[in-house]
Amino acid sequence: MKLVVTLCVFLLGYAGLALAFGTGEQGCGGDCTGCHKVSIQDAQDAVRKIDPLMNVEKIGPSPVPGLYQMVLSKENNPAKMIAYLDFSKRYLIKGTVMDTGNLVDLTRKSTREMLESQVVDVSRIKLDNALLLGNPQGSRRLYLFSDPECPYCAKLHEQLRQLVKKLPDLTVYILLLPLDIHPDSAWKTNSILTASKTDTGRALALLEESYNRKPVERIASTKDYAAEMKSLGKELGITSTPTLVYANGNIALGSKTAEEIEAGILKNPKP
C-alpha cells in the first residue's frame, strides 16, 4: 500500500506542474506524447545504468500520465516483465500500478496482454516428461503448462477432461511447471513424473489427487524433474500457470471453459 500511495503523490505533483507550464489555456491536453518523446535507445541507456544486461524490447505510453510503460527482458532469458520510466528518464519504477478508482491492477493487465501476445515455437517444447490426456495419436494438439498445486490448473484440468471426451482426435500434453509460490509443487512434480516412467495412468491419478487436495504419495526420485521443467519454462518464456499453448504457438493464460478452449483450438490450428 505504501508503494501505491507514494506513486500517487508523485503523479499528482507531476500533473500540477504540467498544468502550470503547459501550452494554451488548458495546459496539457491529455495526450502526453504530443510534448514528450522517447526512443528505445533512450530507454535502453537509462535502464542499463541500473542493469547492464537488461534489454528494452518495447516502450510506449503507460495507462498512467507521466510514465512510459516498457517491456524488459534480460540477455539469454526470454522471460519478460513490465516496468515504468518517468518522462525525465531518470526514475525507473518496478512494481504494481493500481487504478484505485476502478480497483484494477494495471500492471497485471498489461503483463497478461504482453504474455498472450507471445508465440511459442512448439518444436522446442520437450515432451519427454509430458503427461498425456486424450488420444495419444490425435490429429489436434494442445500443450498445457500446469502446477500440481495451482487451483486454477485444477479447474482447467477438469474442463480438459470433458473436452477430450467430446473431441476424440485431441491430444493434450501436460507439462508440469512447479512454481516457487507453491512449496510442495516441486516434490509432487518429482513424484508424479517418476511414476510416469513406469505407469502413465498412475502418474495422471497422482496429479488429479493433488488437484483434489488429497494426499499424494511421495515417491523417491533419482532425478530432479522439477528443475528440468522449470528450465524448460524459462527457455520458452512461460512463467505462470495455467498456460495453454495452441498448435500454432499462440498462448492463452488462466483457467478456461471447455467451450473457450475448443474455440481456441479452431482459431489456432497447426500451420
Query: Taking all residues of the chain, what is their mean pLDDT, rounded to a whole number?
Result: 86
Please give the pLDDT value at position 12. Answer: 31
**Beta-bridge mates of residue 172:** 133, 142
Domain enclosing residue 49, as ranges: 2-116
What's 171's domain CATH number? 3.40.30.10
H/E segment holding residue 100? none
- Regarding whether 140 and 107 lie in a shared domain, the answer is no
- Regarding whether 129 and 99 lie in a shared domain, the answer is no
H/E segment holding residue 192? helix 185-196
- Regarding whether 152 and 50 lie in a shared domain, the answer is no
Please give the pLDDT value at position 32. Answer: 60
Domain boundary among 81, 116, 151: 116
C-alpha cell at 75: 540477455
- Strand, helix or coil at 80? strand
- Regarding whether 127 and 43 lie in a shared domain, the answer is no
- Candidates 178, 174, 171; CA nearest to 196 is 174
C-alpha cell at 259: 467451450
pLDDT digits (tens, 9 = 90+) for 178-210: 999 999 999 999 999 999 999 999 999 999 999
Sign of torsion, CA 223 224 230 231? negative
CA 228 to chain centre: 19
- Regarding whether 135 and 44 lie in a shared domain, the answer is no
CB 119 within 8 A of CB 251: yes
Count up the domains in the chain and report the number: 2
Please give the pLDDT value at position 116. Answer: 75
**Residue scoring higher pLDDT (33 or 96):** 96
- Regarding whether 133 and 109 lie in a shared domain, the answer is no
- Regarding whether 254 and 130 lie in a shared domain, the answer is yes
Contacts of 200 (CB under 8 A, 6+ apart): 131, 132
Cβ of 177: how many Cβ atoms within 10 Å? 27
Please give the pLDDT value at position 33. Answer: 59
- Regarding whether 189 and 162 lie in a shared domain, the answer is yes
